[in-house]
Amino acid sequence: MKTTALLGRVLGSLLLLAPLGACEKDGDAQANVAVLYEQTYCLDRWGGAYSPDELITKATAYLQQQGIALTNARAASERPAQLCNACSCKSGVVLRGSVREQAVPALLELGFERQ
């Protein structure tokens, strides 16, 4: 009888503590913010990229050097390219990913947008 009561208390305690771990994981998920960057012809801080894959590689490496982890990075031609010759003109390729909330101000300074 004592063993059954003790086992019941242990299981009851574990059931009470289980949601605490779930809350911690939910908090981590909420800490991620979706961001995007519209590639320019020649003003990107990480240098020129001639394909979406190269853009991902160069941008994530540059951001890591700045102490920013861009996760779930993907890039694709999503918009029409601007027809102009200025470096600031957009190529139509958009880089998307997720970062921690605390990295957003630094990314906004680099030309990223919060989604």
User: Domain ranges in the chain?
Assistant: 1-30, 32-114
pLDDT, the chain, mean: 84
pLDDT per position as a tens digit, 17-60: 444 454 445 555 457 999 999 999 999 999 999 999 999 999 99
CB 91 within 8 A of CB 44: no
User: Cα dist. 1→6, 8, 12, 19 in Å?
Assistant: 9, 11, 16, 29
Confidence check: pLDDT of 76 > 50: yes
* Assigned fold of 32-114: Alpha-Beta Plaits (3.30.70)
Query: Nearest-5° angle of CA 54, CA 83, CA 114?
Result: 55
Single pTM value for the model: 0.73
pLDDT per position as a tens digit, 79-115: 999 999 999 999 999 999 999 999 999 999 999 999 9
| Element housing 55 (H / E) | helix 52-65
